[in-house]
């Protein structure tokens, strides 16, 4: 798959995963009165599950065994999780930004990290 097409499919999968992420975030904050940072992290985990399934099959068309890709994806996602925590904490707790604009900026940052980590390491073709 060409790089522009792969990036487009990754972005489309990201839209689906992000919609779930934001749905969980808003639901937890607005309906269950969770603080925004833990809500963002719970949303990130929910979107991550969907992201793994769709990216493995559609974006990277990986034939690597799940035994390799699952833990690699989890490690890339964990770094993204930490970036999400760091940026959300910075924007909300230290800068006083509203949680949704903070999440939008954070999502953009984590998008690029996730694409590169998964393309170059998690789902890369060839031997481990």
Taking CA atoms, 50 is separated from 17, 32, 108, 128, in Å, by 6, 23, 18, 24
- The string of pLDDT tens digits covering residues 44-61 is 889 988 999 999 999 998
What pLDDT was estimated at residue 126? 63
Q: In terms of Cα–Cα distance, which of 10, 7, 77 is closest to 44?
A: 77
What pLDDT was estimated at residue 18? 87
- The string of pLDDT tens digits covering residues 18-34 is 899 999 999 999 999 99
What pLDDT was estimated at residue 117? 96
pLDDT along the chain (128 residues), means of 10: 91 93 95 93 90 93 90 94 94 95 91 92 76
What is the residue extent of each domain of the chain? 3-122
């Amino acid at each position: 798959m060409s790089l522009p097409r792969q990036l487009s499919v990754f972005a489309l999968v990201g839209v689906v995963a992000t919609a779930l992420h934001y749905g969980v975030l808003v639901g937890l904050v607005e309906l269950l009165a969770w603080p925004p940072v833990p809500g963002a992290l719970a949303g990130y985990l929910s979107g991550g599950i969907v992201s793994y399934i769709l990216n493995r099959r559609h974006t990277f068309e990986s034939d690597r065994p799940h035994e390799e890709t699952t833990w690699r994806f989890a490690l890339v996602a964990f770094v993204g999780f930490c970036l999400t925590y760091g940026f959300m904490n910075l924007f909300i707790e230290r800068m006083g930004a509203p949680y949704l604009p903070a999440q939008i900026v954070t999502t953009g940052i984590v998008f690029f990290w996730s694409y590169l980590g998964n393309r170059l390491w998690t789902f890369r073709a060839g031997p481990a």
